[in-house]
Amino acid sequence: MAIIRRRKQPEDETQQHLDSKPDEDDDKEAKALTKSGKKNKIKNYSCVDNCCWFIGCVCSVWWLLLFLYNAMPASFPQFVTEAISGLFPDPPGVKCLKEGLKVKHPVMFVPGIVTGGLELWEGHECMDGLFRKRLWGGTFGEVYKRPSCWVQHMSLDNKTGMDPPGIRVRPVNGLVAADYFAPGYFVWAVLIANLARVGYEEKNMYMAAYDWRLSFQNTEVRDQTLSRIKSNIELMVATNGGKKAVIIPHSMGVIYFLHFMKWVEAPAPMGGGGGPDWCAKHIKAVMNIGGPFLGVPKAVAGLFSAEAKDVASVRALAPGVLDSDLFQIQTLQHVMRMSRTWDSTMSMIPKGGNTIWGDLGWSPEEGYSPIKKRNGKNDTENESASKECEASYANYGRIISFGRDVAEAPSSEIERIEFRGAVKGNNVANNTCRAVWTEYHDMGFGGIKAVAEYKVYTADDIVEMLEFVAPKMMERGSAHFTYGIADNLDDPKYAHYKYWSNPLETKLPNAPDMEIYSMYGVGIPTERAYVYKLTPAAECYIPFQIDTSAKDKNEYGCLKDGVYTVDGDETVPALSAGFMCAKGWRGKTRFNPSGIKTYVREYEHNPPSNILEGRGTQSGAHVDIMGNFQLIEDVIRVAAGATGEELGGDQVYTDIFEWSEKINLRL
């Protein structure tokens, strides 16, 4: 009623006003006066009314657009895109279908870290109503609503690396687990859609979802994930007429699957009891996408200071936002506390030590010159994609150095003070920081100082340094992962599962017909080494952070915001992704006794040419490569029965073979 009355009244007055207007001007003044008297009353309404009116307009327009959008024929967006950017090439699935390729081998996907969804099965009271809702992946709505509760549920137990009591967070099962990470951000969806075009469906596609926070063996202990994978491969092989499976792991899934291949053939209590020829019988090819076989330097920065390039540059842009104590945010500390309970992050610490990653004065990528490369390869690559280093001094072997001068100094000039025996000193923050406890608070100033005074850490040192700064975490992790190189692979100690995910400490299974592909993007600067500094305030903070002020003057220099970059796919350096297939496993080596064929397939990064292409069909970025048409085509061909030779063998853009030659590893 009130609404109607309120609206009616003004309308009448409008009428009056209009009628009177043409007649006398003198009356106007009197009227205007009365009006201004009433004006105050209107003010009260008018503001609200105006707002309502405005919102109403916006809503109506929005609905109209929404309606038009829904009523629009489905082919319209594509029509527009084609009109603007020319004809799209056929998606690889359609192309292959036209060539007559059809579903043949069953396919299994192994997602990487972070991309798999996790859902809640049991939680504390603050998570009421979220049963079987996604905590990780999807919209991440809960992070905003109840951040500390969320962090609590995502963390694992600090001692055991398993569920904390009363909390069960489990991986989502099925293809939905990792097809889209967040709405609109595909991971496997494009590949799945293209495989479906040539006839794949649920029965011959399987997503081996696992809890990526756990160490690999623990996924079996807690969820029997490895058994599940074994059973599903066996089932798919049996129901598809004995055709062997094609495995497509991505990112950390690559080493997870390495672990699986050892596990499945190992005898029962520790392994799957599949017998020595299980892999030969069930696996046709392993097509590793962006595989961090030898670890990623990013993991070091992540564990050491919960930073990565992205975080560091945020910090450089707006110092203080992340560190501000004002709102009790302490984001990074929370992130560090949470991620340090995840054993899996330790699986990605660089493996192989100085032999692979270089020492103080040497590294396999040294002398790598993007300019030379560009000349050699003409100009297929885009400007923005080629900010690699010039052949200046980039001592990539020094994965962490304190201060830029140290990073560039010749190795003879560096004075290092041993940190290993250092006294850690008193706990500086015994009470104040309990909420965001990280192991740094057990260290005291002495320990922190000792770490900084060692100046330079190579891959070998890093493991020891992490053991120093985070003893508990590394103790947990060292029961599940190792980072060395085996001297004698026949040593019975290598039967333990902690060696299974390190390609330098295991033999490949005895399966001469199997093929191993290493497919990764190149042409994007990738983190390789860091320049660190001490944080000014050491109380409740993480005492180290990347020194973002360290950068090359040259815009194309390799040191940017305290990070040295090399060629890679933005996350995994080409060396880590390619070395095993380029050298370590090539031919019959001691790591590959049965001579499994290996192929290196690199994909040059080409950023999307316009916004309409989304994340691009020629991307080489670590995750976006899953939408790379060329890669998808390769996968479909292999799944439809092609061998590596038929694909064209190696496809190399970087100097991966040269770099591999430089690595002096007994084979």
Partner 1 sequence: MASVLRYRKLCITEPMLRSYESSETPKDEKQAIETLKVDKKQEKSQTIEKLKNKKKTWGCVNSCCWFIGCMCTTWWLLLFLYHCCPVSLVGFKGPEPPGVRLKNEGLSALHPVVLVPGMVTVGLELWEGRPCSRGLFRKRLWGGSFTGILNRPLCWLEHLSLDNETGLDPPGIRVRPVPGLVAADYFAPGYFVWAVLIENLATIGYEGKNMYMATYDWRLSFQNTEIRDQSLSRLKANIELMYVTNGNKKVVVVPHSMGVTYFLHFLKWVEAPPPMGGGGGPGWCAKHIKSIMNIGPAFLGIPKAVSAMFSAEAREVAFIRAMDPGFLDSEILGLKTMEHMMRVTRTWDSLISLLPKGGDPIWGDLDSAPEDGHECHFETKSYFQSNSRENNNSRNKDSTGPRIQLKHRTKYGRIISFGKTASEQHSSKLHKVAPMELMQVISNATCGEIWTEYGKINRKNIQKLADNKAYTAETFIHLLRYVAPKTMQRAEAHFSHGIATDLDDPKYAHYKYWSNPLETKLPDAPEMEIYTLYGVGIPTERSYVYKLSPSDKCNSIPFRIDSSAEGGCLRGGIYFVDGDESVPVISAGFMCAKGWRGKTRFNPSGSATYIREYRHKPPGFLEGRGLESGHHVDIMGNAALIEDVLRVAAGASGEDIGGDRIYSDILKMSDRVNIEL
User: Coil, strand, or helix at residue 513?
Assistant: coil
Other residues' Cβ atoms within 10 Å of the Cβ of residue 412: 7
Q: Could you tell me the smallest distance in angstroms from the CB atom of residue 107 to partner 1?
A: 14
Comparison of 16 and 426: residue with beta carbon closer to partner 1: 16
Helix, strand, coil percent content, the chain, rounded in steps of 5:
45, 15, 45
Comparison of 60 and 411: residue with beta carbon closer to partner 1: 60
DSSP code string of 416-475: ----TT------S-TTTTGGG--GGGGTHHHHHHHHHHT-EE-HHHHHHHHHHH-HHHHH
Q: Pick the catalytic residue: 163, 250, 622, 624?
A: 622
User: Which pair of structure tokens corresponds to residue 110?
Assistant: 């192994």
Comparison of 128 and 413: residue with beta carbon closer to partner 1: 128
Backbone phi, then psi, for 294, in 5-degree steps? Answer: -105, 20
User: If 0-12 CB within 10 Å is exposed, 13-18 middle and 19+ buried, where does residue 75 land?
Assistant: exposed
Q: Give dist(CA 341, CA 162) in Å, integer.
A: 9
Backbone phi, then psi, for 635, in 5-degree steps? Answer: -60, -45
Comparison of 11 and 487: residue with beta carbon closer to partner 1: 11
Q: Could you tell me the smallest distance in angstroms from the CB atom of residue 228 to partner 1?
A: 6
Q: Give dist(CA 283, CA 448) in Å, integer.
A: 49
Comparison of 56 and 276: residue with beta carbon closer to partner 1: 56
Q: Give dist(CA 239, CA 202) in Å, integer.
A: 12
Q: Pick the catalytic residue: 155, 215, 251, 660?
A: 251
Comparison of 223 and 453: residue with beta carbon closer to partner 1: 223
Q: 193 CB contacts (<8 Å, ≥6 apart)?
A: 91, 93
Active site residue 105: no
Comparison of 174 and 319: residue with beta carbon closer to partner 1: 174
Q: Could you tell me the smallest distance in angstroms from the CB atom of residue 166 to partner 1?
A: 12
User: Coil, strand, or helix at residue 385?
Assistant: helix
Q: Give dist(CA 475, CA 340) in Å, integer.
A: 12
User: Which pair of structure tokens corresponds to residue 230?
Assistant: 């074994």
- CB contact at 8 A, 324 and 441: no
Q: Could you tell me the smallest distance in angstroms from the CB atom of residue 43 to partner 1?
A: 10
User: Coil, strand, or helix at residue 223?
Assistant: helix
Comparison of 42 and 321: residue with beta carbon closer to partner 1: 42
Q: Give dist(CA 348, CA 300) in Å, integer.
A: 8
Buried b (16+ CB within 10 A) or exposed e, 516-555: bbbbbbbbbbbbbbbbbbbbeebebbbbbbbbbebbbeee
Q: Could you tell me the smallest distance in angstroms from the CB atom of residue 602 to partner 1?
A: 30
Q: Give dist(CA 256, CA 598) in Å, integer.
A: 18
CA angle 643/646/649 to nearest 5° reads: 90
Q: Could you tell me the smallest distance in angstroms from the CB atom of residue 328 to partner 1?
A: 21
Positions touching partner 1 (CB under 8 A) are 3, 7, 9-11, 13-14, 17-18, 21-22, 25, 28, 32, 35-36, 38-39, 41-42, 46, 49-57, 59-60, 70, 74-75, 121-122, 128-129, 131-132, 168, 170-171, 173-176, 179, 192-193, 196-197, 201-203, 223-224, 227-228, 231-232, 234-235, 238-239
Q: Give dist(CA 190, CA 129) in Å, integer.
A: 32
Check residue 108 and report its DSSP letter: E
Q: Could you tell me the smallest distance in angstroms from the CB atom of residue 334 to partner 1?
A: 23
Comparison of 132 and 553: residue with beta carbon closer to partner 1: 132
Q: Could you tell me the smallest distance in angstroms from the CB atom of residue 143 to partner 1?
A: 15
DSSP code string of 110-160: E--TTTS-EEEEE--GGGTT-TT-EEESTT-HHHHHSHHHHHHHH---TTT
Q: Give dist(CA 577, CA 287) in Å, integer.
A: 12
Q: Could you tell me the smallest distance in angstroms from the CB atom of residue 216 to partner 1?
A: 16
User: Coil, strand, or helix at residue 527?
Assistant: strand
Q: Give dist(CA 420, CA 382) in Å, integer.
A: 46
Q: Could you tell me the smallest distance in angstroms from the CB atom of residue 348 to partner 1?
A: 26
User: If 0-12 CB within 10 Å is exposed, 13-18 middle and 19+ buried, where does residue 590 land?
Assistant: middle
Comparison of 19 and 310: residue with beta carbon closer to partner 1: 19
Q: Pick the catalytic residue: 569, 624, 634, 650?
A: 569
Q: Give dist(CA 619, CA 630) in Å, integer.
A: 10
Q: Could you tell me the smallest distance in angstroms from the CB atom of residue 222 to partner 1?
A: 8
Comparison of 9 and 375: residue with beta carbon closer to partner 1: 9
Known catalytic residues are 251, 569, 622
